[in-house]
Structure 1
Amino acid sequence: MALHPDITVLYDGKCPLCKREINFIKRKDKHNRITTVDIAAPNFTPAHYGRTFDQLNGRIHAFLPDGSCITGMEVFRRIYASLGLGFLVSWTRLPLARQASDRAYNWFAHNRLRLTGRLHIKPNNDNNDCDSGHCKT
């Protein structure tokens, strides 16, 4: 068992696609390397992570042991590498594939609420401090 997680992932527990992915990750995490935090939980406090709910809800965020924040596809690259499943996403590190997979994730993140039938939730994506895969603090 890891004393400190390799990565702490913040996810939307009300998103069926996100929840399915997190459940898969939890099943594969035999060494407790991944900590998951549901931003939809009633007791969740976004200020604890130095972000607003809208920022966190706009795209997946994760924090590394050194406190740095990563977002988007980079989160999945790190999670899968930590689980020993990096081969599943290693191709997304290649230059053209990185651009394509990052764009595909960005499209999904932008359309996630519509795709999951939750259009009544309107994230404020005006403050895109996390578009590059790393949050600016």
Structure 2
Amino acid sequence: MKEQTIEELTAMTDGHPLIFYDGVCGFCQRIVQFILPRDRNARFRFVAIQSDIGRKLLLHHGMDPDALSTFVLLDRGKVYTRSTAGLRVLRGLGGGWPLLYAFMAVPRPIRDAVYEWIARHRYRFFGRSDACLLPDSKARERFLDY
């Protein structure tokens, strides 16, 4: 099987924002499961940081997948991390979730300090998994690494 180019990997998103998640983090998997039903327009695509596709795309965008402990959003060629990524995702969901984007008014160091505290404790609070999330057949097409 031929190695895919960055252009081919990027084309797999069909221009949709791409969420990178930690495939062995129980909390991260729950976030993906939270997003799926609330993303009524199927706007977001997903890829595990640990997957070959996730690793290649992160490296291409100057991020080290082995040193990554953050939520990452790739949207229109720009990378967002931590609280900014999370709030941008909430803005793209249905219902009242976009209202939380107002927290962008909170200075980023404060938002990111809260984010970092949760990230540091995520395995203790939500556990680890030996396997990546298995999406149902309806959502499977939204995962680049499936």
Query: Is structure 2 residue 65 aligned with structure 1 residue 93?
Result: no
Deviations 1:31-55 (A, max 9, x none): 12111111234x4451332232223
Q: Is the CA contact (8 Å cut-off) linking 1:4 and 1:33 kept in structure 2?
A: no
Q: Deviating runs (4+, > 4 A) in structure 1?
A: none
Query: Is structure 2 residue 124 aligned with structure 1 residue 111?
Result: no
Superposition RMSD in Å: 2.4
Structure 1: runs of 5 or more not aligned: 119-137
User: Normalized per residue, which structure has more helix?
Assistant: 2
Q: Is the CA contact (8 Å cut-off) linking 1:11 and 1:37 kept in structure 2?
A: yes
Structure with more relative contact order (C-alpha pairs < 8 Å, separation 6 or more)? 2
Query: Cα offset for 1:62?
Result: 1.2
| Counterpart-to-counterpart distance in 1, 2:115 and 2:89 | 15
1:25 corresponding residue in structure 2? 35
TM norm structure 2:
0.64
Residue 67 (structure 2) aligned to one of 55, 78, 103? 55
Q: Is the CA contact (8 Å cut-off) linking 1:73 and 1:101 kept in structure 2?
A: yes
Identity %: 25
Structure 2: runs of 5 or more not aligned: 1-13, 129-146
Query: Cα offset for 1:64?
Result: 0.9
2:89 corresponding residue in structure 1? 79
In the superposition, relative to structure 1, how do residues 77 and 117 fare at CA in structure 2: closer, same or farther (>3 Å)?
A: closer
Count of residue correspondences: 111
